[in-house]
Structure 1
Amino acid sequence: MVSFSSLEFLFRFLPVFLILYFVMPVKHRDMVLLIGSIIFYAVGEPVFILVLIALTLLNYFMGTRMWKLNEGFHLSDWQKKRRKRCMIEAVVLDVAILAVFKWLAVFVDNSLLPMGLSFYIFKMISYQADTLRGEIWSRPKFYQTALYFTMFPQVVSGPIMRYNEGGFDGKRIYKPEQFEEGLKLFVIGLGMKVLLADRLAILWNDLQMIGFQSISTPLAWFGAFGYSLRLYFDFWGYSLMASGLMVMLGFDFIENFDHPYASKSISEFYRRWHVTLGNWFRDYVYIPLGGSRCRKGRLILNLAIVWLLTGIWHGNGLNYVIWGAVLGLLIILEKLLYGKILKKVPVLGNIYVLAVIPLTWVIFAITDLKQLGIYFGRLFPFIGGAGIAVNQQDIIKYSRNYSVYFIAGILLCIPAVSEFYSKHINNPLIVLALTVIFWLSIYFLSSSAGNPFMYLNF
């Protein structure tokens, strides 16, 4: 049920929920969404729904403590200090709970990590920080706070919405055109997931089955690029589905990806990739640490902390720490050394991103450090000492089988393709194409077990 690309969700949960949501008077729709969200998560995580409910109650009442100290036109120094202390206590508690479950997942059993825990903890931290900063303009009611934390389109893998972006005051606008727009976004995301990401996942699974020590260097690079596209369309597809659902329900669209593979630097890439997560780290970690308006040594430390936390957040293996450290190092080098050169020569920046990012995704993908070393030995045989591949012509077979998915993926990475879609969104041919995409996706879902979204594990 937690997967938007399951037949159970598409033909059972979603139709019933939408009917109930829209037949209800507007003033009761948030309550329907709250109850539906709890049911959605409970079906997927029948035990850990209690964790989500407990965290919701805890963060609401801790946020309420700050509101109670917010009385008067001018806050006293004591009130300010007390409110800040309340916020720190709430954030420390949230982080501690996340750390405990991460520890259990690493040292006891990976199944002990609740689905989407990192995402709803991050929303709770932003809620506490925004309450302290005065960015939440009126005191939320309990059901409004609970809805913000638990909304089923976002609770599993984001995007990470801020409370004041949600229109929880009941003033959202419901239009048939908006519902149609959200439905189209959902179908595009479903197609990216099922028709592209799941097909490319077979390539990476094949390489693992063959054994990295047996593949040729061309196939190793082909696999790295294939995994990069697979991860992109898996997560971008999920984000479009989640945002499409939100738009259908009357919320504003939240952009989580902005064609990152058109970037000219690693820094720009991560401003365009998983935008809401990057903004979260920027606003709640990087800027409070001092941001970039500080001494060079402090800037390096700030970036190192952010990317170390990013690596730890993404997974439990040492490879994620290495992945975060490598990206942090590259971004620091861009800030201090060659970033200006990349800006002056945009083509060089594009080549740099397209060459380096797939290498970092290999680190992200392979949790076994020994296997990671073997794969890099295949990528760079002149320094890896990995030996001769069993089948030097394997690239011919795999490029023949997967070229159509690579071509489609590359085209969708080009901003002009999205611009064309936006200009012709109501063209009957576009509507027909989306209809074909939907039913093709259903065909593939019904004929295979389907793959869960990769980011559901984070």
Structure 2
Amino acid sequence: MVNFAGMEFIFYFFPVFLLIYHLIPIKYKDVVLLLGSYLFYASGDLKYVLLLLLLTLCNYFMGQQIHKLSEGYKMHSWQRTERKKKLAFIISLDVTVLLVFKMLAVFVDSSLFPLGLSFYLFKMISFQVDYYRGEIFEKTSFLSVAVYFSLFPQVISGPIMRYNEGTEPQNRIYCLSQLEDGMKYFAAGLGMKVLLADRLAILWNDLQMIGYQSISTPLAWLGAAGYSLQLYFDFWGYSLMASGILVCLGFDFIENFHHPYASGSIGEFYRRWHMTLGRFFRDYVYIPLGGSRCRKNRLILNLMIVWLITGLWHGNGLNYLLWGAVLGLFIMLEKLFYGERLKKLPVLRNLYVLFLIPLTWVIFAITDLHQLLIYFGRLFPVFGGTGIAVNTGDFLKYAGTYGKLFLAGGLLCIPGVFDFLEKHRKNPFVIAGLLLIFWYSVYFMASSGENPFLYFQF
């Protein structure tokens, strides 16, 4: 049931929950939201519900202690010291829990990693730091904090919402137009997941079955582009569905992607990709380390720390560390050397991104380093020593099969196309199109099964 693109969620859990949530008085909405969130989480990972509850209690209690020490007109030096100690303790606890389960997943069994642990722990860290900085002004209740940590549209894979973003039920919007908008975002995200991402996934699976050493260079590039679009529409689709559900519940829409493939640099790409995670690393890791307002040596160190952590967060294999290091290297080069020049080359800078990003996604996708070298040998046969003439007809075969998906995906990567559809989302033709997409997606789910979102593993 934790899969938004699943029959149980779409036709059982969500409609029933939504009906109860909107019929209940405002003062009880958070109670319903908390119970629904725990039921949702338990359906996917019952054995770790207690862990979520214990971490919620620890973080709430410590947050109250930090807030209590900041009360009064003047803060004494001992209060500042105690607040820092308590903040360091709770963040250390949260990070330790994450590292312990990461190690268990690597060295014992991957199934030991609790569902959504990375995402709700990041929310807990965000809450503690914001409370410490005074960005959360009022004293919080246990109910509102518990809802924030376990909010079911976000608990599995984000987006990583801040505590102040619609936490109090009286600040939310409850009306039919809000509900309608949320349903439209949900339908658009479902279509991206089921009709684009899941079908493009077949191409990448086929390449794995064939064996990377047996594919031609053109097909290797097609596979890299296909995986790039698959990952994009899988996670953008999830984010639209999650944000659509939040809008249905009265929250503001949270943007997690902003046309990253229209970027003009790698740094800009990751300011537009998984934006809430990027803001988390910026606000709670990069800036506290010194950000970019420091000497070059320190800037290089800060960037590499952030991107190595980003790589480790995404997975346990060496390929994820390599992926993070490569991205950190390119962003560092942009900041120190050719970033300003890129801004003066409007077409070439976009081609630069469209060339490099699929290559980095190949590193992300292939966990076996030997197979990764083979794939790069197919991408660049001159350096790989394997030659270009391997199954020369395979490209035309797969290009013909997946051409329509690449065309649809490419159009949605153009900012003006999606922005036009969003601007005219109340147009009857757009509404009819979304209804068609929704039911066509349901048909595909019923006939081909339900596929989990790629980011569930993180």
TM over 0.5: yes
SS in 2 for 1:452: coil
* Counterpart for residue 242 of structure 1: 242
Alignment of 1:292-441 (within 5 A): 292-386=292-386, 390-441=390-441
The DSSP-based 3-state class of the residue aligned with 1:124 is helix
Partners of 1:386 and 1:58 in 2: CA distance: 56
Q: Which amino acid aligns with 1:99?
A: L
- What SS is found at the alignment partner of 1:45? helix
Q: 2:257 is matched with which residue?
A: 257
Match of 2:115 in 1: 115
Residue equivalent to 1:158: 158
Deviation sequence 1:315-340 (CA, Å, 0-9, x none): 01110000000000000000111111
CA contact (8 A) 2:261 2:353 kept: yes
Say yes or no: does 1:457 pair with 2:457.
Answer: yes
Which residues in structure 2 correspond to 1:191-230 (within 5 Å)? 191-230=191-230
C-alpha distance in 1 between matches for 2:422 and 2:42: 37
Q: Which residue of 1 aligns with 2:131?
A: 131
Give secondary structure in 2 for the equivalent of 1:158: coil
1:7 aligns with 2:7: yes
What amino acid is the match of 1:392?
T
Equivalents in 2 of 1:66, 1:334: separation in Å? 40
Cα deviations across residues 267-294 of structure 1 (Å, max 9, x unaligned)?
A: 0000000000000000000000000111
Deviation of the 1:23 alpha carbon: 1.2
Native 8 Å contact 2:45 2:115 kept in 1: yes
Paired residue type of 2:414: I
Identify unmatched segments of 5+ residues in structure 1.
Answer: none
Instruction: Note if 1:141 corresponds to 2:141.
Output: yes
Name the TM-score, length of structure 2 as normaliser.
0.99
Q: Could you tell me how far apart the structure 1 residues matched to 2:154 and 2:388 are?
A: 46
Please report how far the alpha carbon of residue 408 of structure 1 lies from its aligned counterpart in structure 2 after TM superposition.
Answer: 0.3
Distance in 1 of aligned mates of 2:169 and 2:442 = 37
Residue of structure 2 equivalent to 1:57: 57
- Structure 1: which 4+ aligned runs deviate by more than 3 Å? 386-390
**Structure 1 residue aligned with 2:178:** 178
Is residue 215–residue 389 contact of structure 1 (8 Å, CA) maintained in 2? Answer: no
**Structure 2 residue matching 1:346: 3-state secondary structure:** coil
The amino acid that maps onto 2:428 is P
For the residues of structure 2 that align with 1:404 and 1:221, how far apart are their CA atoms? 17
Contact 1:189 1:241 in 2 (8 A): yes
In structure 2, the CA distance between the partners of 1:262 and 1:290, relative to structure 1 (3 Å rule), is: same
Paired amino acid for 1:159: P
Question: 1:385, CA displacement in angstroms?
Answer: 2.0
Q: 8 Å contact 1:190–1:441 — kept in the other structure? A: yes
TM-score with structure 1 length normalisation? Answer: 0.99
Deviation at 1:349, TM superposition (A): 0.7
Q: Tell me the CA shift for residue 392 of structure 1.
A: 1.3
Within 2, Cα distance between the matches of 1:283 and 1:197? 31
Shift of 1:166: 2.4
1:18 aligned residue: 18
Q: Tell me by how many angstroms 1:423 deviates.
A: 2.7
Counterpart of 1:255 in 2: which secondary structure?
A: coil
- Structure 2: distance between partners of 1:97 and 1:346: 45
What's the CA shift for 1:388? 5.9
CA RMSD of aligned residues (A): 0.9
Report deviation, 1:2: 1.1
For the Cα contact (< 8 Å) 1:196–1:405, is it kept in 2?
A: yes
Distance (Å, rounded) in 1 between the aligned partners of 2:55 and 2:10:
29
- What is the CA–CA distance in structure 2 between the aligned matches of 1:49 and 1:235, rounded to whole Å? 25
Structure 1 residue 387: Cα displacement: 5.1
Amino acid in structure 2 at the alignment position of 1:209: M
Shift, 1:53, TM fit: 1.1
Q: For 1:211 and 1:388, locate their aligned partners in 2 and report how far apart those are by CA, in whole Å.
A: 15
Letter in 2 for 1:374: I
CA distance in 1, matches of 2:47, 2:423: 46
Give per-residue Cα distances to partners, 1:175-214, cap 9 Å, x unaligned: 1111111110010000000000000000000000000010
**CA offsets, 1:37-59, max 9 Å, x none?**
00000011011111111111111
Q: Give 1:89's aligned residue.
A: 89
Q: Distance in 2 between matches of 1:166 and 1:108?
A: 39
Given that residues 144 and 167 in structure 2 are in contact (C-alpha distance below 8 angstroms), is that contact kept between their aligned partners in structure 1? Answer: no
Q: Distance in 2 between matches of 1:91 and 1:416?
A: 42
Partners of 2:442 and 2:71 in 1: CA distance? 55
Secondary structure, aligned partner of 1:74: coil
Task: Work out the CA distance in 1 between the residues paired with 2:327 and 2:433.
Answer: 38
| SS at structure 2 position matched to 1:155 | coil
Tell me the distance in 2 between the aligned counterparts of 1:181 and 1:386. Answer: 52
Encode CA deviations 1:236-258: one digit per residue, 9 max, x unaligned. Answer: 00000000000110001110000
Question: In structure 2, what is the Cα distance between the partners aligned to 1:422 and 1:375?
Answer: 38
Deviates more, 1:78-87 or 1:354-363: 78-87
Give distance in 1, aligned partners of 2:303 and 2:204.
31
- Asked if 1 retains the 8 angstrom alpha-carbon contact of 2:194 and 2:441, the reply is yes
Corresponding letter in the other structure for 2:356: V
1:170 is displaced (CA, Å) by: 2.9
Confirm or deny: 8 A CA contact 2:66 2:86 kept in the other structure.
yes
Q: Aligned residue pairs: how many?
A: 458
Structure 1 residue 389 displacement after superposition = 5.6
